[in-house]
Structure 1
Amino acid sequence: MAYNRSDWSKHYDEGRGFRPLRDVERDLLARHVPAPDGGRALEVGCGTGELTAHLARIGYAVDAVDFTEGALARARKELGSAKVQGVRWWCMDIERDDPSELNDDGYDLVIMRLVLAFVSDRTRVVRSLAARLRPDGALVVITPVVANTPHERRRIALDEDEISLLTEGWEQGERCDADGLAFLVLRGPSGSSFEAVEKSRPEPQAVLGACVVVTDEGGRVLLGRSTRGMWELPGGHLETGESAQVAAVRELAEESGLSARPDDAHLLTILHDDRADIRRISAVVRVTAWTGTPEVREPHRFTRWEWHDLHTLASLGRIFAPSAQAMEAVWPGVLPGLPPVHSYPHADAPPPVGGEQAEAVRLRHKMADAVITKG
């Protein structure tokens, strides 16, 4: 969901807030995440600090983060040091800013209340926060649910598919009802949990397709969460008369809304494997320049688009097999243990841009020597 700091600062400057913290939420916090000795908590999206103050009163030292100065100014004024002890206030966009200033020793509790629906790359953000948990720590998400939210306000809520995705990759997960809000307690983030998965048998004419590899300014790769419950690169079948590069640009626009020129789409390699009795050919196309913001253009196929750090790909769970093979072709070693696939590199392809340059040059030299088979 799109948002900006000026809109939210105006929201707080006008004296508005959010649903007040209720007794049922306080009781659930006391039951599921009581403060241990020396306990430290991180609240993301603290707003005017009502929950932060409660956490401090029950024994946590709290780092309270919000990306609007308007919210923090009200919090400091209404909950100053005389009223609340052990709180550090941080103006930070947890989705985009460098989080290095946060506590190096980790947190016993990370909590997001009424904020996750406003985050674009939810999976990446949640996994980044999970990495800051101490042993036995918990991530708590309190969120409106679509089923309990009026239609005109459902933009602030998560549906059941989003909640299910949120809980993937945790050893323990509990869900409680907090007066219509979902109260989620997640513990034990797992490490490597991805699984390359297949769809049903392709249609006979669908033997050639394009896998589109796009990265943002931070080197993160764009993946869509499909309605089949797996992550996929943008891409699809080549239409009559299309090149792989033209098909890649068209599919990228149709599926995610990003615009690119065929001149900025570069064929890196052709991957060939067998799916049932069909020879499946995947053209791996690297798009090096694009404009726009990812959005769901084909809701019957995808539920969301997110940018993902390369080092987290192996923990994403189910990834469509050709997408997994394509990313492994671009960044060898990022998804080890995949089934064998034949790779037919395009040695004249220019290297990717940014921080991937050195690795891409090394890979191109390797690919130019011979046609390889990966196992």
Structure 2
Amino acid sequence: MGYTTPGEWDAHYAGGNTFRDLGDAERRLLAEHTPPPQDGLALDIGCGLGALARHLAHLGYQVDAVDYAPSSLTVAEARDPSAAVTYRLFDIERDSLDSLPHAAYDLITFRLSWAFIRDRTRVMNRVRERLRPGGALCVITPVADAVPKDKRDIALDEDELELLCADWSVADRYDADGLALIVLRYSSPAPPQVACAETRRPSPHALSGVGVVVTDSVGRILLGYSTRGAWELPGGKNAADEHCLDTAVRELEEETGLKADPSEARLQAFLMDSTDGVPRLTAAVTVTTFTGEPTVTEPHLIHRWEWHEPTDLPGLAQPLFTPSAHVIDTVRPGLLTGLPPVHRYRITTADAP
């Protein structure tokens, strides 16, 4: 599909294009596993032409249906101007959820849209906060093994499905004529305890590298979900005779496509620990000024890049790469607890480049 902007999706719908119709199996499973309570409220995210929203209204929900393509909402409203469905132009990744018509919902749905969400962890955490007690979140998605290779970007593979279901009290998966229909429910969580993991065995020599805390304009931290099942900061090993700040901006561009100037980067501390008996020295660097959008440039190492709310990091379902956790703890002291031991040598303001 390759669509990444609201304008491309708007042109898709304006051109009369659509997607797979809501099937009988989906209707049956939704009725069976997500029946509406009295005065039930539903939020359909990425509603497209409104087929699912109209079905949820038929089941008995009052539905808020949102999409960021204006033409899709125009068509959806024209097909069935039902009072039980309210259509709204809304970007789930960029707009504040406080502007939604209701504060909380009994059912939140993503049909054929979850694969197009970039910051999935952050979005899921914020959306989950909008569930009423006993509510459910339903994701309906193609599965990678069931689609042609040229359409893998519209589907989720088994690793992504596992990550989607992590950290929910109940995660039930059903087959809906080849689509995965996943119903997620959540109970009160235990206090978050950050998990850490090593992602590789290093070469048998001392290691030196850089971890880069990149923050956007609202303070979110960029992390990559690695092929080894852990979240990592951008960064990597120093090249010969390379300054840590040069390493930071080089690795940042090589791994994410983001461009920064070494003069805008800040060295915060040196961290020393060991892995498999090998000493490891990590420079903690911060970058707040950059250009571009995060892009997966090394798919053999990183599945995708996501912007994370700092307060979400202690409760991530998957572990943080240990040096990344130490660097984050340097920049945001007290945010993470229970970390492995590390020697930290902070750079004073006078000493910092």
Q: CA deviation at 1:123?
A: 1.8
User: What is the distance in 2 between the residues matched to 1:348 and 1:49?
Assistant: 55
Tell me, yes or no, if the aligned pair for 1:269 and 1:343 is still in contact at 8 Å.
yes
Are 1:289 and 2:289 matched, yes or no? yes
Q: Which residue of 1 aligns with 2:225?
A: 225
Q: How does 1:79-118 map to 2 (within 5 A)?
A: 79-80=80-81, 84-118=82-116
Q: Which residue of 2 aligns with 1:11?
A: 12
Tell me, yes or no, if the aligned pair for 2:239 and 2:247 is still in contact at 8 Å.
yes
Q: How does 1:45-56 map to 2 (within 5 A)?
A: 45-56=46-57
Secondary structure class of the residue paired with 1:247 = helix
Q: Which residue of 2 aligns with 1:300?
A: 300
Q: Which residue of 2 aligns with 1:372?
A: none
Q: CA deviation at 1:350?
A: 9.7
Q: Which residue of 2 aligns with 1:171?
A: 169
User: What is the distance in 1 between the residues matched to 2:111 and 2:293?
Assistant: 26
Q: How does 1:79-158 map to 2 (within 5 A)?
A: 79-80=80-81, 84-158=82-156
Tell me, yes or no, if the aligned pair for 1:232 and 1:320 is still in contact at 8 Å.
yes
Tell me, yes or no, if the aligned pair for 1:65 and 1:90 is still in contact at 8 Å.
yes
Letter in structure 2 aligned against 1:333: G
Q: CA deviation at 1:214?
A: 0.4
User: What is the distance in 2 between the residues matched to 1:298 and 1:3?
Assistant: 19
User: What is the distance in 2 between the residues matched to 1:5 and 1:271?
Assistant: 42
Runs of at least 5 residues in structure 2 that lack an aligned partner in the other structure: none
Q: How does 1:193-232 map to 2 (within 5 A)?
A: 194-232=194-232
Tell me, yes or no, if the aligned pair for 2:66 and 2:90 is still in contact at 8 Å.
yes
Letter in structure 2 aligned against 1:338: L
Secondary structure class of the residue paired with 1:284 = strand
Deviations 1:111-139 (A, max 9, x none): 00011111111221122111111111111
Letter in structure 2 aligned against 1:183: L
User: What is the distance in 2 between the residues matched to 1:64 and 1:104?
Assistant: 12
Q: Which residue of 1 aligns with 2:160?
A: 162
Tell me, yes or no, if the aligned pair for 1:210 and 1:244 is still in contact at 8 Å.
yes
Q: CA deviation at 1:285?
A: 0.8
| Superposition RMSD in Å | 1.8
Runs of 4+ in 1 over 4 A off after TM superposition: none
Are 1:280 and 2:294 matched, yes or no? no
User: What is the distance in 2 between the residues matched to 1:175 and 1:34?
Assistant: 16
Tell me, yes or no, if the aligned pair for 1:259 and 1:292 is still in contact at 8 Å.
yes
Deviations 1:21-57 (A, max 9, x none): 0110000001110111121110001111111111011
Change (3 A) 1:289 1:2: farther
Q: CA deviation at 1:206?
A: 4.4
Secondary structure class of the residue paired with 1:307 = strand
User: What is the distance in 2 between the residues matched to 1:76 and 1:33?
Assistant: 24
Tell me, yes or no, if the aligned pair for 1:284 and 1:326 is still in contact at 8 Å.
yes
User: What is the distance in 1 between the residues matched to 2:256 and 2:219?
Assistant: 18
Secondary structure class of the residue paired with 1:170 = coil
Secondary structure class of the residue paired with 2:268 = strand
User: What is the distance in 1 between the residues matched to 2:164 and 2:219?
Assistant: 23
Q: CA deviation at 1:179?
A: 1.0
Are 1:330 and 2:344 matched, yes or no? no
Are 1:26 and 2:24 matched, yes or no? no
User: What is the distance in 2 between the residues matched to 1:53 and 1:349?
Assistant: 62
Deviations 1:276-334 (A, max 9, x none): 42222110011232112211111221111111011111111311111111111101121
Count of aligned pairs between the two proteins: 348
Q: Which residue of 2 aligns with 1:244?
A: 244
Q: Which residue of 1 aligns with 2:234?
A: 234
Runs of at least 5 residues in structure 1 that lack an aligned partner in the other structure: 352-375
Letter in structure 1 aligned against 2:297: R
Q: How does 1:258-273 map to 2 (within 5 A)?
A: 258-273=258-273
User: What is the distance in 2 between the residues matched to 1:298 and 1:278?
Assistant: 26
Higher relative contact order (Cα pairs below 8 Å, separated by 6+ residues):
2
Change (3 A) 1:336 1:103: farther
Q: Which residue of 1 aligns with 2:322?
A: 321
User: What is the distance in 1 between the residues matched to 2:35 and 2:109?
Assistant: 13
User: What is the distance in 1 between the residues matched to 2:214 and 2:112?
Assistant: 31
Q: CA deviation at 1:105?
A: 4.0
Letter in structure 2 aligned against 1:301: L
Secondary structure class of the residue paired with 2:186 = strand
User: What is the distance in 2 between the residues matched to 1:264 and 1:186?
Assistant: 42
User: What is the distance in 1 between the residues matched to 2:351 and 2:133?
Assistant: 44
Q: CA deviation at 1:272?
A: 1.5
User: What is the distance in 2 between the residues matched to 1:222 and 1:349?
Assistant: 27
Tell me, yes or no, if the aligned pair for 2:225 and 2:303 is still in contact at 8 Å.
yes
Q: CA deviation at 1:15?
A: 2.0
User: What is the distance in 1 between the residues matched to 2:31 and 2:193?
Assistant: 31
Letter in structure 1 aligned against 2:94: R
User: What is the distance in 2 between the residues matched to 1:280 and 1:153?
Assistant: 41
Q: CA deviation at 1:274?
A: 2.9
Tell me, yes or no, if the aligned pair for 2:198 and 2:321 is still in contact at 8 Å.
yes
User: What is the distance in 1 between the residues matched to 2:99 and 2:299?
Assistant: 38
Tell me, yes or no, if the aligned pair for 2:194 and 2:338 is still in contact at 8 Å.
no
